[in-house]
Amino acid sequence: MSAKTLIKNRASLSHKVRYAINHPDRIAPYLKRTARDGWLRLKHPDHIAYYRAVMASDAGRSPEAAVGSRSHERWLALGEMQFGYLKEHGLRPEMRMLDIGCGNLRAGWRFIGYLDSGNYYGIDISPDILVSAKKTLVTYELQDKLPHLTVTQDLTFDFLPDAHFDVVHAHSVFSHSPLSVIDQGLRHVGRILAPGGFFDFTFDRTEGAEHQVLREDFYYRTETLLALARKHGLEARFMEDWETRPHGQSKIRVTNPA
């Protein structure tokens, strides 16, 4: 990402005016989404409930667009990118994996096919997107891999066993989360990580002022998230080699020294 991109404040009025001038065709969709999101925030003050409603609305139109893919080709490419990166960084078939925000299995169907039967656990806050995930399982004939797909209310992982997962993965989850939700996930993930296990998550990075847009997209400084992980006794590092991938988010890896 360029230095200009990293200091951009998408919540500022000046940015919105410049963007509208350069992209007049996107004004109407933006105003429509702003009105929709404003109404949903009034109905659902809690962020998880609000974003669940956002996902229900988006998934009703297009499950692939709801998880951030403009086309089926992009859906396939982003899933392959996630899968390829984890394979290069230690994922093996015998490992047990928790996929936070698994969506409609954009990357999940590849993980399920690669991992030993029963070793994939996908969780999401949206029942609607998990219905689509089950259709993806059928499309790729992965029923015999017995993946676990579960709706969750939070990131306490209270229904999961201690030291169980070798890999925990959250792609494009913390980019849509306020700091309180991220803090909750980092506070509890150490309990479910197996010895030697790791937690990879992506986030929208800024080197300027931290900000959010429509309570859907949150931009954080790397130091903020590294410090938050360390506060909970975790080791964390910025994954420089992820930056070479054609993806707009950055990645941090967390491990539990205990």
pLDDT band, very low/low/confident/very high, at 257 (cuts 50, 70, 90): confident
State pLDDT tens for residues 32-71. Answer: 888 888 888 888 888 888 888 888 888 777 776 667 667 8
pLDDT the model gives residue 3:
54
Residue 16: which domain range? 3-255
Instruction: Give me the number of domains the chain comprises.
Output: 1
CATH of the domain at 139: 3.40.50.150
DSSP letters of the chain? Answer: --HHHHT--TTSHHHHHHHHHH-GGGHHHHHHHHHHHHHHHHH--SHHHHHHHHHHHHHHH-HHHHTT-SSHHHHHHHHHHHHHHHHHTT--TT--EEEET-TTTTTHHHHHHHSPTT-EEEEES-HHHHHHHHHHHHHTT-GGG--EEEE-SSS--TTS-TT-EEEEEESSSGGG--HHHHHHHHHHHHHHEEEEEEEEEEEEE-SS--EEETTTEEEE-HHHHHHHHHHTT-EEEE-GGGGGSS-SSEEEEEE---
Over 70: is that where the pLDDT of 116 sits?
yes
Over 60: is that where the pLDDT of 220 sits?
yes
